[in-house]
Amino acid sequence: METRKLWEQVLFFKGLGNPGLSKSIMNELQEYLGHRPDFSHLHYGRWGDGELEDRFPNYKEIEGKTLVFFECLKEESVMLRFLQLCWAAKHQYGARQIVVVLFFMHYRRQDHEDCLDEIWRNKWLVEQMKASGISHVIMVTPHSEQTIINFQKAGIACRCANLGDLFSNRLRPLLPEPDKGKKVKVYAPDQGSISRAIELAKRLEIGVFFSLKNRGFNNETKAIEANQEKIAEIKKQFDSFADLEYATSDQVRDSTIIIVEDEIDSGGTAYIQATQLKKYGAEKIFMVFSHAVCTDPWRRKLFGADNPFTQVIVCDTVPRGEEKRTGGKMHDVSVATPIAGELMITLRDALETDDRE
């Protein structure tokens, strides 16, 4: 089947969570396709008694089509509406498959099978998505590898938009040149962020420092000292990347440091990390992260009275309205381009498979 005819089999829907980013991705798709695809209409509403009345006004066009749904699952209410719409599209109106571009995922942290005092809501949500008819998911910086594993076990194909180029292109003009005697390193504040740090470091052609931390009662985190055995274990795990060192005061002194995180919630942990790096003698500290969760009073906790950061760079996966602006302390970059690229690959593969069948 011709490419244009294949793409006529796709319907696009934007959810409630981040319509601005959804529109930006559609603009990026225009560059790939040579024409701008349009959103199909979704009616969002409630009956007088408060029950949901969300629906597809043009439901007859759904049967046999591939649906692409853009959504940011930051709020439980949005999550419920999203699941209902996906279920109706697949099981009531006969969509062939549903591809979800998931800017941010609810229950991202409740992903520990071994924490028996906590419901394994991450897996629960993944399985609800599968039951609702979702076949493919494109994510941005999942909180942990376990989320991807949960999708795979549920039978949902999962891809992640790569933000390495996005961050490296934004940072490169701001960083000193390493070949002029200036030490520049990416910093992973815990073991779970080392992979992300290495990914960025490779693009910037620099090394990585890492520390360790524990997440304890009330979700609070604190740094812990690593013994030589633990350090050796971690370095062996990432032995394909040679320039990986445990962060000490001697290592950090006079360096430019780039902290890489998946999200900022209260901001308190990031401030403690940056302040410690300053005490170690770091010259400049940049921070990049994907999701602006920003739980109040995050600005006071993140920047403190002395703002240890040279610059903070954040993606637009979670909308940050005027009430969450910082007067220039945080700078926004859009994930529209890398998401559009992953979406093109996902849809090309899915549509070509359908065509062969």
Whether pTM exceeds 0.75: yes
Q: φ, ψ for residue 246 (rounded to 5)?
A: -70, 135
pLDDT of residue 3: 57
Exposure of 193 in the CB half-sphere (CA atoms within 13 A): 22
| Euclidean distance between CA atoms 213 and 222, whole angstroms | 5
- Contact between residue 197 and residue 243 where contact means Cβ atoms under 8 Å apart: no
What integer best gives the mean pLDDT of the chain?
92
Residue type, 19: P
pLDDT of residue 192: 85
Domains and CATH numbers, the chain: 3-162+337-356 (3.40.50.2020), 164-334 (3.40.50.2020)
Beta strands in 316-355 (DSSP E): 330-333
- Contact between residue 144 and residue 164 where contact means Cβ atoms under 8 Å apart: no
- Quote the radius of gyration of the chain (alpha carbons, Å): 22
- Contact between residue 154 and residue 127 where contact means Cβ atoms under 8 Å apart: yes
pLDDT of residue 218: 47
pLDDT of residue 1: 44
pLDDT of the chain, 357 residues: tens digit per residue: 455 666 789 999 999 999 999 999 999 999 888 888 899 999 999 999 999 999 999 999 999 999 999 999 999 999 999 999 999 999 999 999 999 999 999 999 999 888 898 999 999 999 999 999 999 999 999 998 999 999 999 999 999 999 999 999 999 999 987 666 689 999 999 888 899 999 999 999 999 999 987 554 444 555 557 789 999 999 999 999 999 999 999 999 999 999 999 999 999 999 999 999 999 999 999 999 999 999 999 999 999 999 999 999 999 999 998 999 999 999 999 999 999 999 999 998 888 765 555
